[in-house]
């Protein structure tokens, strides 16, 4: 508030400032939890909020030359306190405010008897636009702690209502609601939440960008890593997709012989690693998460240049990788170790336990070159396996940097092998007879090939943990809030340049609201900024490479022939003109069947449906065979239930965006053509990387059943 006063005086302006308290505070707390902020931007107790209101009011009233105070409150105590503060400051030029339909009796005396001005504010618009706002106001003012609720309760003594906030705070002992965990403590004793960045805070934002600026390209010379491997071959340059010319680093690719050697060496490392106590393995993986946060700025710069990640997407990816490490470490502590005693007859001990399988191959994609890469690896390692990892050929540098941090954290070099390479390396790993399992994220077509190769091998039948693509849909009916739908569609379809497995591809809109919503979507898309992903002002970065760009634009050209192109954005010019850019596109389809495949980029397809055709829509979605993510925007519970019950989709998001699944909160993965399960970041994931074993011991064989003899019927 003091900064606002100084700004008014510096510019010779008098600002009209409306002071409210507690509005949307619960949303702010939720955002803090979701984004991993250090603390909350709001007070978490009612007395602290009330006192802060009065402190701000006093500051405003002491600066009548810079601030015209507008005090919005339905609390009689706060109102009286403002009047007293104004009288002490000798200020008469200010006003009160109240919501239409509320506080009428209170302000009748204030206005008619005492002559203070009161402005009445009210929402203006149709019922469908105002319903959400009115419900919000009712919830806030109907809360148990609200003065409006208390004043109507005859059982509450007047003395209690008139207690000053300072008294209720009890010298600060009640200033914090300790039942609300801080963001870092969101998951209790099991693990620490990953740290995020509040991009609305200039200090935090500048700390990140200045740290990134100190990391200059080229960064590193990536090569195969692991005990017994010697890099060979030419160093291939890696260029930034934003312009095609900025050299990010170099990479020496592995070959099929290196792949064979890595698997054989990893088999030896497995014998020692699988026998290490689970707590030691967990401590190493936890340390990887800590090192990721400690090296945030360097990793962010590589993600931005090598993978085209915007700042918000880069931070989200680092956080997801950290969460994977900490979550799997916590889960392994419970699952592995001594095992679980099973019920059975006296004189016998039956213990059920998990143990590692052997050498696990992890093949990760370029769209999440850190989070998915490390998620697969950390799960396999925590289950007691050795790992040979092949990152996507487009993003070897971030994988190499992460691998070095893993060794620094204590992962042995004969337990984890990194093999940057092309298709021949993946083929060699998949076909190796000693491979005990394989984790893969990528296209459905590639997953089919891998599955066939694994099935053709002679030897143990090994698991394939695959997460593949999907024609992800969102259904929007006429009851949905258009503004919320617009925000969620923009994020779901265009965040990360549409290069997310969970990205929205097909939007079903009830025809009654389609025209209005499409106008909003087009307007919102025009506001999205394409540019250097290292800049805070950039919303959308480049797609991964020229091949991806050409495939997406070819699809758009095909759609123009038979469908309606509603919107096509503009790509950057100047020094970025040669980058692999695809601007947001919105295409209206005459029927859903016109979209026959997943288009991995910022292209949103929209189709209208009639109110009575919801069953037809659900059948169309089911008919694609995919089952990764689904969005539903509706304020009718029966509609939501119908959709959820009908469709076997891995992740269903109701009245929110369809991206950004959080580890341990929204385990991610689909079914059908979208993957094998189990879900990444979920309680069943580690078990797929492990073997089950039961050890049965006849304890009576030692000469008798001592526990039975000692048993008493007391």
What is 96-161 written as a DSSP string? EEEETTSSHHHHHIIIIIT---EEEE---S-HHHHHHHHHHHHHHHTSTT-HHHHHT-TTS-HHHH
Give yes or no for a cis peptide into 218 (omega within 30° of 0): yes
Q: How far apart are CA 366 and CA 442, in angstroms?
A: 9
Give the position of tokens 């978490």. 44
Burial class (CB in 10 A: 0-12, 13-18, 19+), 357: buried
315-371 pLDDT, tens digit each: 999 999 999 999 999 999 999 988 999 999 999 999 999 999 999 999 999 999 999
Contact 579, 542 (CB under 8 A): yes
Q: What is the CA radius of gyration of the chain?
A: 30
Which of 629, 688, 673, 657 minimizes the C-alpha distance to 316?
657
Measured CA to CA in angstroms, residue 101 lies from 9, 120, 138, 422 at distances of 37, 9, 11, 68
Residues in the chain predicted with pLDDT less than 50, given as ranges, are none
d(CA 354, CA 309): 38
Phi and psi, residue 521, nearest 5°: -65, -40
Q: Are strands 435-441 and 359-363 parallel, antiparallel or unpaired?
A: parallel
Degrees, nearest 5: CA angle 472-478-483: 75
CB crowding 672-696: b at 16 or more within 10 Å, else e: bbbbbbbbbbbeebbebbbbeeeee
DSSP code, position 679: P
User: Which pair of tokens denotes residue 255?
Assistant: 């070959």
Burial of 554 (0-12, 13-18, 19+ CB in 10 A): exposed
Residues identified as active-site: 467, 501
The confidence score (pLDDT) of residue 25 equals 87
Q: What backbone phi and psi angles, to 5 degrees, belong to 274?
A: -65, -20
Token pair for residue 405?
A: 């941090």
Report which of 326, 647, 599 is spatially closest to residue 474, judged by C-alpha positions: 647
Please name the residues in contact with 96: beta carbons below 8 A apart, sequence gap of 6 or more. 70, 71, 72, 73, 79, 82, 107, 110, 116, 117, 118, 119
Q: Note the maximum CA span of the chain.
A: 97
Instruction: Supply the DSSP string of 327-358, one letter for each residue.
Output: HHHHHHHHHSSS-EEPP--TT-EEEEEEEE-S
Cα separation, 561 vs 433, whole angstroms: 49
Location of structure tokens 């076997």 = 648
Q: What is the pLDDT of residue 155?
A: 67
Place of tokens 């959400």: 132
Indicate if the alpha-carbon torsion angle 447, 452, 456, 460 is positive or negative: positive
CA angle 87, 90, 96 (to 5 degrees): 55
| Structure letter (DSSP) for residue 661 | P
> Does the bond joining 678 to the residue before it have cis omega, within 30 degrees of 0?
yes
pLDDT tens sequence across 389-406: 999 999 999 999 999 999
How many other CB atoms sit within 10 Å of the CB of residue 149? 13
| Residues 6 or more apart whose Cβ sits within 8 Å of residue 144 | none
How far, CA to CA in Å, does 245 sit from each of 202, 217, 305, 545? 31, 12, 11, 12
Indicate the helix (H) or strand (E) that contains 418.
Answer: strand 416-418
What pLDDT, on a 0 to 100 scale, did the predictor assign at position 192? 98
């Amino acid at each position: 508030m003091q900064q606002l006063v100084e700004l008014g005086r510096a510019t010779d302006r008098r600002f009209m400032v409306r002071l409210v308290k507690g509005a949307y505070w619960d949303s702010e707390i939720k955002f803090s939890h979701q984004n991993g902020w250090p603390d909350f931007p709001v007070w978490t107790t009612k007395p602290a909020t009330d006192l802060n209101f009065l402190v701000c009011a006093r500051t405003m009233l002491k600066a009548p030359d810079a601030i015209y105070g507008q005090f919005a409150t339905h609390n009689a105590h706060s109102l009286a306190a403002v009047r007293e503060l104004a009288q002490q400051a000798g200020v008469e030029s200010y006003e009160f405010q109240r919501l239409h339909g509320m506080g009428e009796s209170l302000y009748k005396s204030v206005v008619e008897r005492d002559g203070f001005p009161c402005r009445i504010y009210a929402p203006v618009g149709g019922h469908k636009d105002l319903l959400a706002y009115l419900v919000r106001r009712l919830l806030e003012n109907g809360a148990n702690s609200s003065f409006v609720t208390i004043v109507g309760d005859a059982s509450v003594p007047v003395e209690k209502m008139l207690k000053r906030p300072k008294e209720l705070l009890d010298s600060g002992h009640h200033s914090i609601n300790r039942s609300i965990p801080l963001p870092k403590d969101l998951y209790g004793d099991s693990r620490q939440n990953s740290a995020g960045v509040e991009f609305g805070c200039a200090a935090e934002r500048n700390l990140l960008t200045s740290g990134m600026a100190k990391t200059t390209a080229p960064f590193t010379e990536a090569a195969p890593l692991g005990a017994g491997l010697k890099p060979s071959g030419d160093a291939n340059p890696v260029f930034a997709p934003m312009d095609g010319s900025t050299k990010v680093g170099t990479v020496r690719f592995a070959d099929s012989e290196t792949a064979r050697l890595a698997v054989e060496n990893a088999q030896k490392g497995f014998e020692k690693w699988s026998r290490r106590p689970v707590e030691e393995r967990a401590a190493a993986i936890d340390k990887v998460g800590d090192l990721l946060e400690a090296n945030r700025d360097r990793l962010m710069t590589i993600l931005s240049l090598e993978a085209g990640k915007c700042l918000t997407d880069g931070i989200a990816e680092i956080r997801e990788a950290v969460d994977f490490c900490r979550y799997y470490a916590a889960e392994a502590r419970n699952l592995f170790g001594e095992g679980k005693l099973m019920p059975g007859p006296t004189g016998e001990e039956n213990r059920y336990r998990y143990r590692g399988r052997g050498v696990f191959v992890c093949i990760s994609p370029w769209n999440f070159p850190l989070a998915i890469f490390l998620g697969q690896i950390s799960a396999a390692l925590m289950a007691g396996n050795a790992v040979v990892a092949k990152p996507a050929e487009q993003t070897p540098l971030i994988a190499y940097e992460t691998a070095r941090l893993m060794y620094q954290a204590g992962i042995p070099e004969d337990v984890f092998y990194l093999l940057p390479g092309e298709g021949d390396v993946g083929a060699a790993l998949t076909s190796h007879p000693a491979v005990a399992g394989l984790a893969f994220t990528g296209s459905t077509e590639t997953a089919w090939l891998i599955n066939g190769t694994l099935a053709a091998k002679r030897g143990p039948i090994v698991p394939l943990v695959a997460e593949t693509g999907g024609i992800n849909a969102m259904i929007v009916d006429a009851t949905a809030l258009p503004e919320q739908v617009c925000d969620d569609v923009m994020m779901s379809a265009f965040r990360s340049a549409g290069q997310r497995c969970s990205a929205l591809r097909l939007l079903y809109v009830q025809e009654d609201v389609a025209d209005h919503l499409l106008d909003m979507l087009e307007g919102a898309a025009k506001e999205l900024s394409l540019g250097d992903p290292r800049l805070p002002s950039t919303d959308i970065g480049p797609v991964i490479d020229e091949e991806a760009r050409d495939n997406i634009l070819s699809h758009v050209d095909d759609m123009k022939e038979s469908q309606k192109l509603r919107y096509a954005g503009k790509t950057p010019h100047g020094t970025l003109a040669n980058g692999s850019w695809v601007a947001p596109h919105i295409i209206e389809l005459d029927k859903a069947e016109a979209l026959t495949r997943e288009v991995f980029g910022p292209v949103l397809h929209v189709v209208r449906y009639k109110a009575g055709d919801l069953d037809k829509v659900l059948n169309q979605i089911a008919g694609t065979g995919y089952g990764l993510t689904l969005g539903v925007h509706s304020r009718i519970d029966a509609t939501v239930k119908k959709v959820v019950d009908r469709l076997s989709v891995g992740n269903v998001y109701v009245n929110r965006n369809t991206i950004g699944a959080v580890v341990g909160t929204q385990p991610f993965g689909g079914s059908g053509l979208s993957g094998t399960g189990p879900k990444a970041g979920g309680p069943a994931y580690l078990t797929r990387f492990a073997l089950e074993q039961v050890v049965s011991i006849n304890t009576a064989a030692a000469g008798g059943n001592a526990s039975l003899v000692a048993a008493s019927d007391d």
